[in-house]
Amino acid sequence: MRHYWLLPSFLSIFLFSLPAEAGRIVRWDFNTNQNRLSFTTDSGVQPRAILISNPTRLIIDLPNTSLGRATVKQPLSGTMNFLRVGQLDDRTTRLVIELKPGYTLDPQQVIFRGASPINWSVQLPRPQRIEELPNFIPPPQSTPRLNQSNQTMPKTLAQLLEMPIPKFSNKS
């Protein structure tokens, strides 16, 4: 009895069990004069971001992306302390912009722009001394929805925390 069906079965099990190849972060740059972080990957990515305090840090995770080398820590000037780019886990690259102690950012003014699925920029506002912060205004209770026919960028960090970044598509 011939078992011709065994070969395709073993091949399909082997192929479906292989991990998907992660993209790579190819380039990043922080322009201290403009308070702007730019980064490029070799495949499409949907960044996730959060702002945390003590000290204030903007954390940007790039899922399904690898750095391909050791963590890089780049000193910055002014009220920015440093930019760190490292591998959070085997599938996520993390970019961290840390401010000097005593400074923070208004999350409503942190703007993400996706020029394409692989080219992104993050515009940071001028850091504020912690005692200069305006009164906190809670976000609206309802989650805003993007118009599917007009998925616009940019989005602020506050909006990103409330809803996912829209995925890019090749449909015209």
Least confident of 9-13, 46-50, 97-101: 9-13
Q: Can you say whether residue 112 is alpha, beta or left, with left for phi > 0 and alpha for psi between -120 and 50 degrees?
A: beta
Candidates 1.20.1250.20, 3.90.1150.200, 3.40.50.2300, 2.60.40.3500; CATH matching 21-130+151-162:
2.60.40.3500
Tens digit of each residue's pLDDT (9 = 90 or more) over 70-116: 999 999 999 999 999 999 999 999 999 999 999 999 989 999 999 99
Least confident of 31-45, 88-102, 129-143: 129-143
Residue 153 has pLDDT above 80, yes or no: no
What was the pLDDT predicted at 46?
A: 92
Domain ranges of the chain: 21-130+151-162
pTM score, whole prediction: 0.67
Neighbour order of strands in the sheet with 155-156: 65-66, 23-31, 36-41, 119-123, 111-114, 155-156
